[in-house]
Amino acid sequence: RFDIKMQYKQLWVRNLKLSDAGIYTCEYGSHKVHTSLHIFKLMISSDGHFLQNEVPELILMQNSSSPLPDLRITLFDSNNNRVTPQLQNKSRQKYIVNLRKLEAMDSGTWVCQAHSDSPLIDQNIPFAVKVLGFQNPDLERKYATVDSTVILSWRLNFQKIKWTEGFTGQLNWKQQESANPHELVDFNVTAQGQLHETKKSSNFLFEIPEGKPESTIEVKLPKVHFNHSGQYQCQLEYQGRHAQSKIELVVMKVSAKPVGPLSRGANMTLTCQVSGQLPPNAYLHWERVNGTKMDMKNSKQNEVKLEVTISAAGLWSCHLIEDSDRKISVHYHVEEAAVWTNYVIIGASVGGSLLVFALGCLCIISVKNWQRRRQRAKRMAQARQHLLENKTCQCQQ
């Protein structure tokens, strides 16, 4: 590991070790020149490969021939922002610090700055940090209407950081927190950095879109059902460690009772319903387009169903509003029954009433006739009995 370049009077030392620290003396005739070699060694946990939300451990070691200086350690992240580490252990030979939780944007070259006043040391030591993670928010909520098309997308950063180490992952779905998850997709990264996906579920109607970026995991629901709502969780695994990102899918539907045109003077109930709990700052809102304030109604907090009883036809809209922002809307057109339809309905009602009245009268007449026949038969039976009794008396005389 040592090489002397005579023409330059230089000593080359390759692959430095901590034990190489010390005083080196160059003798030339009666002249002697002493050089002190101070060596730093920086080590980072997991060989610099992390998943998001992990906390790296950084170890800085030093060695020299003279008494070891008391160092001041300053850290800068990949965006040149100063990072305040948590000091875990300190001795003059070894400094152990824990960094903060990492995010996907923290990938890049970090700098550890070691400073000492006596002896004067001002050394910048760069080290690489690769953070594999999602560029999505920690918890993303997506809204959809029944029968619409939805694409759920998770953006990874492994292409950006040229992550060629093998990692695996899966995409799961469950309707409720306590329900059993259903595995939808398995994926992994090849040694060439290519993302490979495998569809796992055949009972769930979804597709894996084509033509997407290689660092994106996507599922497409071509026709959303009300029971497709729930948590879709994408999970990464690397060397036994995990990171995950969730998308909460909330589905909204609208129904009417009774279904059909609204007759003049009649009422109809419109129901707007969402499939899951809403955040505290979200609510449902019914309104009639070009209507008045009397045609508006808001849901209460934690209500997932909002009903409104209407007597006016027109276009009615249900909105899901979060932080004064309309996230999704469903429109329902209520038609007004035609005039002849109203007459038919009135005629049918009157005719039905007359028919019921006539049937009632017939029933009453029939009952009375039956009662008369029964009484006549009873009187005739009594008369026959009376005659028989009289004949018996005459024979005895």
Q: Domain boundary residue among 251, 284, 319?
A: 251
Pairing assessment for the beta strands 121-132 and 49-51 based on DSSP bridges:
parallel
Does one domain contain both 155 and 244?
A: yes
pLDDT-flagged residues of the chain (< 70): 338-358, 360, 367-368, 379, 381, 383-397
Q: Is residue 151 part of a domain?
A: yes
* pLDDT for position 344: 47
Does one domain contain both 124 and 149?
A: no
CATH code of the domain containing 164:
2.60.40.10
Does one domain contain both 160 and 242?
A: yes
Does one domain contain both 158 and 72?
A: no
Does one domain contain both 171 and 195?
A: yes
Q: Is residue 229 part of a domain?
A: yes
Does one domain contain both 104 and 176?
A: no
Does one domain contain both 58 and 76?
A: yes
SS (H, E, C) 128-171: EEEEECECCCCEEEEEEECCCCEEEEEEECCCCCCCCCCCEEEE
- Residue range of the domain that includes 296: 258-334
Does one domain contain both 118 and 164?
A: no
Q: Is residue 392 part of a domain?
A: no
Does one domain contain both 176 and 246?
A: yes
Q: Domain boundary residue among 192, 223, 251?
A: 251
Q: Is residue 340 part of a domain?
A: no
Does one domain contain both 114 and 183?
A: no
Q: Is residue 45 part of a domain?
A: yes
Q: Is residue 344 part of a domain?
A: no
> How many domains does the structure of the chain reveal?
3
* pLDDT for position 169: 92
Residue type, 153: S
Does one domain contain both 247 and 144?
A: yes
Q: Do residues 173 and 225 touch, judged by C-beta distance below 8 A?
A: no
Q: Do residues 225 and 144 touch, judged by C-beta distance below 8 A?
A: no
Q: Is residue 107 part of a domain?
A: yes
| Of 45, 95, 49, the residue nearest 74 (C-alpha) | 95
Does one domain contain both 159 and 96?
A: no
User: How many beta carbons lie within 10 A of that of residue 374, not counting itself?
Assistant: 10
Q: 22 is written with which tokens?
A: 């010390």
Q: Do residues 97 and 90 touch, judged by C-beta distance below 8 A?
A: no
Q: Is residue 22 part of a domain?
A: no
Q: Domain boundary residue among 302, 334, 366?
A: 334
